[in-house]
């Protein structure tokens, strides 16, 4: 790894710096495709909200790099004890000594990782070549590419008038089974999907008598004018009937029934060409082509 020149210092982030220093820095750099990190947001307000949801909290998980008193880099993580995984927020660096700063931040952050972490994941726009170079240098290997797709409100004029049912308790068990079959290592379990249902999180389903054919899990963040489709699932026996299209269209109609929502996003694996074609036909536009990179982690 590249040595860090003595003029740089690495510091923890203070609690009062999360909203005033860290979030604006991450959001500003993240708006550039060549610096984009998938776990970060593009506005300071959304970045503050994301950082507030992290576990552990940013004061325990982030390190900042300074040249004198100028912030030039930030790196941190979120973790999931069930999956034993850490999602790396960065590296975000704004300096000509990019790799030296990034290497120093990575070295400083790794000892902060909790004992339950067994795997690390980076997630970056493929145009972020410096992050890719760092990933290779740090021993990460590709875990696949995915598209981030965007749909704006004015596209609703071309969306078919499809409907789906709200989930009822009669199909709770079937949903948990189907979710586990299709998303065995999802960051959300079927039980967690059920628990999240409220006015801003909706599970819509298609059924045939007592049988669950498919579901879509969508959420809105009205304070930011955004919506997201997190999961779309169709049972294998029910595929080829256009049910995925019906579910996505119904989710779009639910999200845009909220006047505050102006735009929605979803993520689709690049290798899942039928799903990507479906989303494009409905009016989604590609915003980013992202790469996930992973490596095992063992505390030294």
Strand partners, 76: 89
* Beta-strand pair 201-208/226-234: unpaired
CA angle 124–278–146, rounded 5-degree value: 15
Is domain 150-289 annotated with CATH 3.40.228.10?
A: no
Between strands 85-93 and 119-125, the pairing is: parallel
Architecture in CATH for domain 8-139: 3-Layer(aba) Sandwich (3.40)
Domain ranges of the chain: 8-139, 150-289
DSSP 68-82: TTEEEEEEEEEEETT
CA distance 182 to 180: 6
Q: Which residues of the chain have pLDDT under 70?
A: 1-3, 5
Cα atoms in the Cβ-side hemisphere of radius 13 Å centred on 70 = 6
């Amino acid at each position: 790894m590249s040595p860090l020149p003595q003029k740089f210092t690495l510091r923890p982030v203070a609690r009062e710096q999360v909203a005033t220093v860290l979030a604006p820095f991450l959001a500003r750099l993240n708006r550039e495709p060549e610096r984009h990190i998938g776990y970060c947001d593009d506005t300071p307000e959304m970045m503050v909200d994301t950082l507030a949801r992290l576990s552990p909290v940013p004061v325990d998980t982030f390190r900042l790099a300074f040249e004198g008193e100028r912030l030039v880099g930030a790196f941190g993580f979120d973790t999931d004890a069930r999956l034993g995984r850490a999602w790396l927020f960065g590296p975000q660096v704004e300096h000509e000594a990019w790799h030296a700063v990034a290497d120093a931040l990575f070295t400083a952050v790794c000892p902060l990782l909790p004992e339950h972490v067994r795997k690390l994941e980076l997630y970056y726009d493929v145009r972020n070549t410096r992050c890719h170079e760092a990933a290779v240098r740090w021993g990460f290997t590709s875990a696949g590419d995915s598209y981030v797709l965007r749909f704006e409100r004015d596209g609703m004029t071309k969306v078919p008038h499809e409907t789906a049912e709200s989930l009822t308790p009669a199909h709770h068990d079937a949903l948990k089974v189907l979710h586990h079959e299709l998303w065995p290592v999802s960051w959300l379990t079927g039980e967690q999907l059920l628990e999240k249902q409220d006015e801003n999180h909706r599970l819509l389903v298609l059924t045939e008598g007592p049988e669950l054919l498919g579901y879509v899990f969508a959420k809105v963040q009205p304070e930011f004018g955004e919506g997201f489709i997190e999961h779309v699932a169709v049972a294998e026996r029910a595929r080829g009937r256009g049910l995925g299209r019906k579910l996505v269209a119904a989710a779009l109609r639910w999200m845009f029934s909220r006047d505050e929502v102006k735009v929605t996003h979803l993520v689709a694996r690049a290798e899942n060409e039928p799903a990507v074609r479906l989303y494009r036909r409905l009016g989604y536009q590609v915003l980013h082509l992202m790469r996930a990179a992973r490596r095992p982690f063992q505390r030294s």
